[in-house]
Amino acid sequence: MHRTFHVLLAVLASLAAISADTHTTSKASSPLQVDLDAAYLWTRGYMEGKQYEIIGADNASVSQSHFLASADTYLIVHGFLSHALVPWVLFLKDKILARGNSNVIAVQWASGDNFTELAYNKTSDTVPGIGAAVSRLLTTLQAVRGLDYTRLHAIGLNLGAHIAGFAAKNSPYPFGRITGLDPASKRYLDTSPKERLDKSDALYVDIMHTNSCNNWNRWYDCFGIYMSIGHTDFWPNGGSFQPACKKTESHHVGDGPLRCDHTIVTEYFLESFDYDITSTKFLASPAKNYRAYCVDPVIHCGPLPQYMGILADSGSSGDYFLNTTSVAPYAIEDKSCPSRVRQSELAATAFMAIITVLILIVGILLILVVTLVYILVVIFSIVCIKVKGIFKRKAESADMTDPLLGDAPQDRVGDGQKGA
């Protein structure tokens, strides 16, 4: 009887724990203790970046790796129903290494086993714990190989974007940058910054929204989050549905049967590597909303151009809009707004014009001052001459009336004659 009572208490305690863990947001009060399945590292110094090294949070594997403390580090986090070696991740790795010697790390995590709402919910429960596991890996890289967090750029798709956010929240130093590729909405919409990716997680957070909306019939109709959560939020074609996806619903690029409107964000990001700041492709404009942008895109160019994709920077923040084509390449040449280089040239021209005007003003002021000084000198000279003349006449007048040289002797002579 006593044993049965204790068993009953244990069952009740388990039920209470399960009840306490039931929630409507993605973050449990204490994250599930999970770990990464694997972490793959690519560098130019190892097999020219064509072969990966497997590293873990242990000192041995990190110390024996080809990780470069002097190089930038890119952390790629795949999304729901995916893995670390899907095509878009490998393409992204190649494009990063083509730009320069870098550390590219792709983490493998248990991202679900079937495309159901229940599987998604169970997977999202592990997101905070996966983020903590990524943080442990980064902590080891920092301690053993000198990882510079300010040169760390994390890139995550849907749930992977939030994993990057939790990795940053659990790290001792802020990340340099986090790029959220259509961060997942379900269980993250209208949650606090502590429960999802947020702009406070890195020095710069940029978000690309491609399949976000606030009304849907099926749980996966709008996979992306419909709220601005970064320093800069990009909304191509309004951020909900993409022209290239009108004839297809699913889009198999290695992340399961998710909507084309959602997964196409990886293609946008990959394509952004093909352009530089001399181009106006993927150039976005600030606006209150997409409707306002469409009314007159020209008036929304903004003082500082902002590019969607790898060229995005912290120079300006807010919501930015742009349009794309329906076939690859997706970027449209924006002939109404200047590129960043052209904007810099215009700014330099304007600056030189201002300097020229200031020099002219200073020159005119100097001429006026010199002229004024000359006039004052002339006036002073005239006054001095006048004053000198007055004093001279007074002096001459004084000489003529002196008692020793003037009329006094004549008076005395006259007096003597009178006395005689």
Please name each of the domains of the chain with its CATH number: 26-337 (3.40.50.1820)
Q: Which is higher by pLDDT, 28 or 57?
A: 57
Instruction: Give the pLDDT of residue 19.
Output: 36
Please, which residues have CB within 8 angstroms of residue 383's CB and are 6 or more apart in sequence? none
CA–CA separation, 222 and 240 (whole Å): 7
Instruction: Give the pLDDT of residue 406.
Output: 52
Burial 216-240 (b: 16+ CB within 10 A, else e): eeeebebbbbbbebbbbbbbbbbbb
Q: Which is higher by pLDDT, 341 or 223?
A: 223
Per-residue pLDDT for 403 more than 60?
Answer: no
Q: Which two tokens stand for residue 299?
A: 């008036």
Q: Which two tokens stand for residue 301?
A: 């160019």
pTM here? 0.76
Q: Cis link prior to 297 (omega < 30° from 0)?
A: no
Burial 352-388 (b: 16+ CB within 10 A, else e): eeeeeeeeeeeeeeeeeeeeeeeeeeeeeeeeeeeee
- Mean pLDDT, range 92-114, rounded to an integer: 96
CA–CA separation, 323 and 331 (whole Å): 8
Q: Which two tokens stand for residue 318?
A: 């807010």
Counted residue by residue, the chain has a size of 420
Share above pLDDT 70 across residues of the chain, in percent, rounded to a whole number: 79
Which region among 93-97, 144-148, 188-192 has the lowest average model confidence (pLDDT)?
188-192
Instruction: Give the pLDDT of residue 124.
Output: 96
Condensed to tens digits (0 to 9), the pLDDT of residues 33-86 reads 789 999 999 999 899 889 999 999 999 999 999 999 999 999 999 999 999 999
